[in-house]
Homo-oligomer: A and B are copies of this chain.
Amino acid sequence: MNILKIIVTVFLYTSLFPSCNRNKTEVDPLPSWNEGKNKTDIIDYVNTVTNAKSIHYISIPNRIATFDNDGTLWSEQPLYFQLFFAFDRIKEMAPQHPEWKKIQPYKAILENNLAEFLKEGEEGILKIILKSHTGNRTDAFEKSVKKWLATAKHPTKNVAYTALVYQPMLELISYLQQHHFKTYIVSGGGTEFMRPWVETVYGIPKEQVIGSTVKTTYEYNKGKPIIKRKADIEFVNDKKGKPEAIHKFIGRKPVFAVGNSDGDLEMLRWTASNAKKPFMLYIHHTDETREWAYDRASHIGKFDLGLDEALEKGWKIVDMKDDWKKIYPNE
């Protein structure tokens, strides 16, 4: 039997007996999701828009899926994890800055006084983010993030921060990728804080991370080019910034978007305006035992206007307590 005949035979077999392939679809793509409307809706959506015979078929290049990060792909309590990184960097830098013992917000950080730190508000946060995240080369910054993630522990859960990613979301990302969706992170977090680890943790390539940025400057010294991070915010990727950044970086409207807070509302609205069939999903933090429970009144991940609009428009809302069999991978 020559090669051509064999190939034709394989083709005929697999066409005549589609059951040979059925196992593939019978495997549950979302095993950590409880059976229910949300799980069914996600699977129905993916089956519909990837079915070439459906009027809702979406071509592969247009299958853009965008995910918020903090509170959507991993936890964000009691504070955004990037802030704990900033605190640890400040403590590391403190010996070179004896004056910090007396100045806020540094004093509060050095004394592990979170309540005192939070009194300094947005301005305090900005100050320590800039101080701890800039002034160095991009490659040095990347190393410091990797080193921190390898050793730091969450203050109450006492596990590595990357152990606090949501298993059901890892499954959703992978399921969409298997159906040729290009998955992006669109987060208020720092682009360069996320890129060092998203590839191994989420299976999302570095270049598919859109976050907040500081200004950078390229220098060419003695034949060696470097890029330095300046103490100057360039872009805050939150609220209206999200659709603007999606347009700038991707140039296509998403068809699938997931968020968990009011900061994601404009991204979901932008997605909802897609003429192709879109899917908008909000993650609602309802599980105070396994994770945290918060929404309308939370200082982190406030979910108020977004919750109203999701209910009004019929966007999907994950109830973490009810919908997720498992929250974290090692649970």
Contact = CB atoms under 8 A, between A and B. Distances in A.
A240 to B, nearest CB: 4
A243 B241 CA distance: 23
Interface stretch (A2-10, A47-55, A107-115, A281-289): A2-10
Given A191-B251, A248-B216, A266 B225 contact: yes
How many chain copies does the complex carry? 2
A307 to B, nearest CB: 17
Q: What is the predominant secondary structure among interface residues of chain A facing chain B?
A: helix
Contacts of A9: 1, 6
A244 interface: yes
Given A10-B7, A199-B61, A225-B243, A266 B220 contact: yes
A249 B207 contact: yes
A251 B6 contact: no
Nearest to A215: B244
A247 B207 contact: no
B220 A269 contact: yes
A199 B59 CA distance: 14
A20 interface: yes
Given A209-B251, A251-B207, A251-B209, A216 B199 contact: no
Nearest to A60: B205
Contacts of A209: 251
Contacts of A216: 244, 247-248
Nearest to A61: B205
Given A3-B20, A13-B3, A243-B218, A195 B225 contact: no
Contacts of A191: 248, 251
Most B CB within 10 A of own CB, among A10, A218, A241: A218
A282 to B, nearest CB: 17
Contacts of A311: none
B244 A227 contact: yes
A276 interface: no
A38 to B, nearest CB: 24
Interface string A1-44: 10100110110011000001000000000000000000000000
A224 interface: yes
A172 B160 CA distance: 44
A207 B13 contact: no
Interface string A188-202: 000110010001000
Interface in A60-83: 61, 64
Interface of A: 1, 3, 6-7, 9-10, 13-14, 20, 61, 64, 138, 182, 191-192, 195, 199, 205-207, 209, 213, 216-218, 220, 224-225, 227, 240-241, 243-244, 247-252, 266, 269-270, 273
Given A61-B199, A206-B251, 5 more contacts: A3-B14, A6-B6, A61-B205, A192-B251, A218-B243
The 6 closest A-B pairs by CB, nearest first: A206-B251, A218-B240, A207-B250, A195-B251, A218-B243, A218-B244
7 contacts: A1-B1, A3-B20, A10-B10, A206-B251, A224-B273, A225-B269, A227-B247
